[in-house]
Amino acid sequence: MGTEIVSQVEAALPVSIDSERLTKRITPRADSPIEQDKPVGQRTTVEQAESVHTEQPVEETKAAGIEKPKIRRVICKLRKACRLASTNLSKYPHYLPVWDHGEKYSPWEPFTHIEHGKDADPSFKDLLIEESKLHHLTPSTGSEVTGVQLSKLSNAGKDQLALLVAQRKVVAFRDQDLADLPIQEALDFGAYFGRHHIHPTSGAPEGYPEIHLVYRNGGNGEFESFLANRNSSVAWHSDVTYEEQPPGTTFLIILDTPEVGGDTAFVNHVEAYNRLSPALKERLHGLTAVHSGFEQAEFSRSRGGVVRREPVKHSHPLVRTHPATGEKALFVNGGFTRSIDGLKNEESEYLLKFLVDHIGRGIDYQARVRWAPNTVVVWDNRVTSHSAIVDWVTGERRHLARITPQAERPYETPYVGEAK
């Protein structure tokens, strides 16, 4: 039994949407991008793994002279031939991506972030209730929890969730109901942790631009194409660090997953920082680096994709301090960090390459999360980077929804010399 991808085209009506009207449903009007998560340039991965990633549906171009469609939808129906998803049905069709060229958002305004992990009870008694179980995936990084329903947490439990995730960097919660709740309820849950980010170039469920989708059909030669010009699918990045206030406690909800494959790997940037020599740590303090979203926007535009907000770049400290744990972490990533302020080109390039390589090869401070139905993975985007692993060839769909609360503007506390 197959599925069908049906594109529905609506008349073009320009829609201007204020960025603060985040919870209002949008009447989609616009157009149809075709975009792939392909590296742009040498270091640019454009959030290849969990971020840009939407495998936008390939569809015939409308005949010349006919007005370009303004919206592309992906809708699966039962018992029909399917050109893209050849073997599997979408369990959550209302989460399938829509790309709306009519959506335009104003630049973000700064907001005051409340760090809920800061004053959380470190006993975790409201989070890790009696019937729950927690085990660590590795000594330093990553945990898995069963027996906790995130959507039912009290505010105290949510505070403790933020702290636990800050400490462990990534935590996989099994048997969750977030995917089965109305989308707005899932967003309301996530809003506790910060202002919802809206991704500038990704598809979203119709009417819910705050949801960022990760979507691969897994069929029709998709993987051969994906790997045609790269040796590995690994593309470490932290999400949207070009924003003035990048995300903090971040949620990824599985909707459809291959039975085996499609894991997500995370790397602990606190531990990556800790491994550096005192001399290098001291030198890095006080430096800032440019994080840019321009390449991502240009890549989307070049493929006919959406750019819902004009791109920005911001300089952030190379070493940032986490507000809840006080830990220091390297804050660079191969996806968006472009250069180090104040250094000459070669100096910047070599130092950034060292730091990005150092983070990427540190398998002794990484964790790999295996997805299963009803899993929600929560990570702290301030102190980690991650990569999807594109390794399954079964034609199964991989479909995830990200809730992306923004956090504070990155800052660093003074360097404290280490005892010799």
Pairing of strands 143-146, 170-173: parallel
Compute the least distance from the CB of residue 274 to Fe ion, in Å. Answer: 23
Measured from the CB atom, the residue of 32 and 201 that comes closer to Fe ion is 201
Measured from the CB atom, the residue of 50 and 55 that comes closer to Fe ion is 50
Q: Of the listed 116, 196, 199, 237, which one is catalytic?
A: 237
Compute the least distance from the CB of residue 240 to Fe ion, in Å. Answer: 8
Q: Of the listed 269, 316, 386, 399, which one is catalytic?
A: 386
Q: Of the listed 31, 37, 100, 239, which one is catalytic?
A: 239
Compute the least distance from the CB of residue 252 to Fe ion, in Å. Answer: 8
Catalytic-residue membership of 53: no
Residue 13: CB atoms within 10 A of its CB come to 11
**Measuring CA to CA, which residue among 212, 208, 211, 213 is closest to residue 25?**
208
Compute the least distance from the CB of residue 402 to Fe ion, in Å. Answer: 8
Q: Of the listed 269, 338, 399, 402, which one is catalytic?
A: 402
Catalytic-residue membership of 239: yes
Catalytic-residue membership of 237: yes
Measured from the CB atom, the residue of 143 and 387 that comes closer to Fe ion is 387
Catalytic-residue membership of 29: no
Site residues (vs Fe ion, CB under 5 A)? 47, 50-51, 239
Compute the least distance from the CB of residue 66 to Fe ion, in Å. Answer: 36
Report the chain's C-alpha Rg in angstroms.
21
Measured from the CB atom, the residue of 46 and 270 that comes closer to Fe ion is 46
Measured from the CB atom, the residue of 239 and 408 that comes closer to Fe ion is 239
Cross-strand pairs, 256: 399
Catalytic annotation, residues: 237, 239, 386, 402
